[in-house]
């Protein structure tokens, strides 16, 4: 069965299905991540969400400016608690404080439509080696208790976004689904609390990851065109991986006595760069196919009815860990500057994606490898390594958008990425005399040399009074120069931030206290913090597909 109907009746049915998208998919959500060197201002993002009819958003934290911008927007919000906070929230008092500051306060002060609290983010990933197994449930339990105490438990529900690797099937069929034996009791403990409190099970499903890690995975089975050989599960046929994966979870819940527990698809999407299978065509095909697949409210064989889902993700994030793969920075349906990356109709409006408005960019200039510089120069390799380690070179390499560049083009791309991330400062284009600034766009074919957007500073900095800022600057500079005498500086950039690596100078003062003091009195100083390793998204994700 192909994508294109062969009869006039088939054409009519297809038109009816497309028109019905506006009715059925008006609740599609999106994941709004902020691991970027240059974030779009939250008010611009919220306007973009509203103009595209995206009525639900899933956050990975509870950042003040983001929640304030979402106030009175009517957009349903899922606020997030990072994994590194789970231990802290093992204290009921800490959970009550968190709920008061990040749920109660935004609800009352800004009228934010908070509907869910995501406790952790894929905390049971196999690649975490059980790091959060014993801290997730206590945090979940305490957050739920805090919501009850605050009188919000009927309005705001808890959930734990879990990767699809928490369940498996010995038979290779959805009907064989059950939770992984090594974490079974931990998952059931969570499932029971969710069920007792009318809360949903949230799962992240990624067909792309299955294709990425399994060379034998049938490509067509990742999509929704109906071109793949179906999987026969006792007379129930699965034509795509999403349905098979989703229903494996349904079977797992049913076998453990929770057949009716609501399910949210917390993340689903396709990246556009960083791998040979991560490209604009596949991303458009997958995401549009998914929208059409859920448009009629048909659901899956085991769970008929509308599917509650959040696309991953809204915007590209150029500071994400690339440990899973270079594609991690390219999941957005919008670019870092809020431009649609391909035509996509979410079924929420009568048009394709609408770009962000009011985005301010830096000047149209780029940093490139000097035309007269020699490739054999001994400084070329360390300069490129330096730039790529501190910027974003994930569009370079086999099968990527910039794979057609020659050696000089690759060097220029690396130089420009570092230059743009550092706000086009002249010093950021030196590279031992190998770089030069040009106003002629070096972009070519599918390879775009970006111009960065203007940096956004959160209101936490702007709220400081002038007196505190003045006194803080004096003390901050004293600490800064004192530190400079004691530390080995590897990267200093006067761009509103000062980046450096801490050594062992303040032996009598703990690093945490020293950092707290430094930030308190000089808020424009930040210590560069490497993002915590993010294990392969779905590296052990359930991959169910026809054999042969």
pLDDT tens for 148-177 read 999 999 999 999 999 999 999 999 999 999
Which residues contact residue 364 at a Cβ distance below 8 angstroms, ignoring those fewer than 6 apart? Answer: 439, 441, 451
Q: Which of 182-196, 354-368, 523-537 has the lowest mean pLDDT?
A: 523-537
Residue 354 has pLDDT above 80, yes or no: yes
For the record, the structure tokens of 292 come out as: 């059409």
Q: Mean pLDDT over residues 39-53, rounded?
A: 98
Helix, strand, coil share of the chain (percent; to 5): 40, 15, 50
| Pairing verdict, β 231-233 and 56-59 | unpaired
Which residues contact residue 466 at a Cβ distance below 8 angstroms, ignoring those fewer than 6 apart? Answer: none
Residue 413 has pLDDT above 70, yes or no: yes
- pLDDT value of residue 501: 35
The question of whether 122 is a catalytic residue gets the answer yes
Share of the chain above pLDDT 70, in %: 79
pLDDT tens for 107-123 read 999 999 999 999 999 99
Q: Which of 90-94, 327-331, 339-343, 519-523 has the lowest mean pLDDT?
A: 519-523
Task: Find the DSSP H helices in 303-437.
Answer: 380-390, 407-421
The question of whether 267 is a catalytic residue gets the answer yes
Residue 241, Cα to own-chain centre: how many angstroms? Answer: 22
Q: Mean pLDDT over residues 314-326, rounded?
A: 96
Q: Please classify residue 463 by burial: count the beta carbons closer than 10 Å to its beta carbon, then call 0-12 exposed, 13-18 middle and 19+ buried.
A: exposed
As a whole number of angstroms, the distance between CA 243 and CA 433 comes to 55
User: pLDDT tier at 474 (50, 70, 90 boundaries)?
Assistant: low
- pLDDT value of residue 348: 87
Which residue among the candidates 122, 317, 328, 337 is catalytic per the annotation?
122
Evaluate whether 468 touches 461 at the Cβ level (below 8 Å). Answer: no
Strands (E), 355-484: 366-369, 435-438
Which residue in 279, 281, 283, 289 sits closest to 269, CA to CA? 283
Mean of the per-residue pLDDT values for the chain?
86
As a whole number of angstroms, the distance between CA 443 and CA 32 comes to 28
Task: Find the DSSP H helices in 126-240.
Answer: 136-149, 184-196, 207-213
Which residue among the candidates 96, 267, 337, 540 is catalytic per the annotation?
267
Question: What pTM value is reported for the model?
Answer: 0.83
Evaluate whether 213 touches 275 at the Cβ level (below 8 Å). Answer: no
For the record, the structure tokens of 407 come out as: 């050696």
Secondary structure in 3-state letters for 531-547: CCCCCCCCCCCCCCCCC
The residues facing 369 across adjacent strands are 435
Of the CA atoms within 13 Å of residue 219, those in its CB half-sphere come to 6
Residues for the chain: how many in total?
Answer: 548
Please, what's the b/e burial string for 30-40 (b: 16 or more CB within 10 A of its CB; e: otherwise)?
A: bbbbbebbbbb
């Amino acid at each position: 069965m192909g994508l294109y109907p062969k009869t006039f009746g088939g054409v009519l049915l297809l038109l009816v299905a497309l028109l019905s998208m506006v009715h059925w998919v008006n609740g599609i959500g999106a994941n709004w991540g902020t691991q970027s060197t240059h974030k779009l201002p939250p008010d611009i993002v919220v306007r973009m969400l509203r103009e595209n009819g995206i009525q639900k958003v899933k956050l990975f934290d509870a950042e003040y400016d983001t929640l304030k911008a979402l106030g009175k927007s009517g957009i349903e919000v899922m606020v997030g608690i990072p994994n590194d906070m789970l231990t802290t929230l093992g204290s009921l008092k800490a959970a009550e404080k968190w709920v008061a500051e990040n749920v109660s306060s935004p609800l009352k002060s800004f009228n934010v439509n908070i509907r869910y609290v995501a406790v952790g983010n894929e905390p049971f990933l196999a690649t975490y080696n059980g790091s959060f197994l014993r801290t997730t449930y206590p945090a979940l339990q305490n957050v739920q208790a805090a919501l009850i105490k605050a009188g919000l438990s009927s309005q705001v529900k808890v959930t734990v976004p879990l990767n699809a690797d928490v369940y498996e099937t010995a038979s290779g069929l959805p009907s064989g689904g059950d939770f992984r034996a090594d974490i079974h009791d931990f998952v059931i403990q969570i499932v029971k609390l969710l069920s007792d409190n009318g809360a949903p099970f949230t799962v992240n499903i990624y067909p792309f990851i299955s294709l990425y890690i399994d060379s034998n995975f049938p490509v067509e089975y990742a999509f929704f065109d109906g071109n793949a050989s179906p999987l026969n599960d006792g007379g129930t046929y699965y034509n795509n991986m999403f349905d098979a994966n989703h229903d494996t979870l349904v079977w797992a819940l049913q076998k453990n006595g929770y057949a009716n527990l609501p399910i949210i698809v917390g993340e689903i999407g396709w990246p556009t760069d960083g791998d040979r299978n991560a490209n604009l065509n596949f991303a458009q095909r997958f995401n549009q196919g998914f929208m059409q697949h859920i448009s009629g409210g048909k659901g899956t064989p085991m769970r008929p009815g509308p599917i509650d889902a959040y696309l991953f993700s809204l915007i590209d994030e150029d500071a994400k860990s690339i440990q899973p793969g270079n594609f991690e920075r390219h999941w957005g349906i919008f670019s870092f500057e809020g431009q649609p990356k391909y035509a996509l109709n979410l079924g929420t409006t009568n048009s394709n994606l609408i770009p962000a408005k009011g985005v301010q960019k830096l000047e149209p200039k780029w940093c490139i490898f000097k035309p007269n510089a020699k490739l054999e120069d001994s400084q070329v390799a360390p300069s490129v390594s330096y730039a790529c380690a501190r910027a974003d070179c994930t569009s370079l390499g086999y099968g990527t958008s910039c794979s057609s560049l020659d050696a000089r083009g690759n060097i220029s791309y690396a130089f420009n990425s570092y230059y743009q991330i550092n706000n086009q400062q002249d010093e950021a284009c030196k590279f031992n005399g190998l770089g030069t600034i040009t106003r002629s766009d070096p972009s070519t074919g599918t390879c775009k040399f970006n111009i960065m957007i203007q940096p956004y500073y959160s209101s936490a900095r702007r709220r400081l009074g002038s007196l505190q800022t003045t006194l803080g600057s004096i003390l901050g500079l004293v600490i800064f120069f004192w530190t400079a005498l004691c530390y080995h500086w590897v990267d200093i950039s006067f761009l509103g931030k000062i980046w450096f690596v801490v050594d062992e100078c303040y032996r009598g003062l703990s690093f945490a206290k020293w950092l707290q003091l430094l930030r308190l009195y000089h808020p424009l100083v930040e210590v560069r913090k490497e993002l915590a390793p993010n294990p392969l998204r779905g590296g052990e994700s359930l991959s169910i597909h026809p054999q042969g």
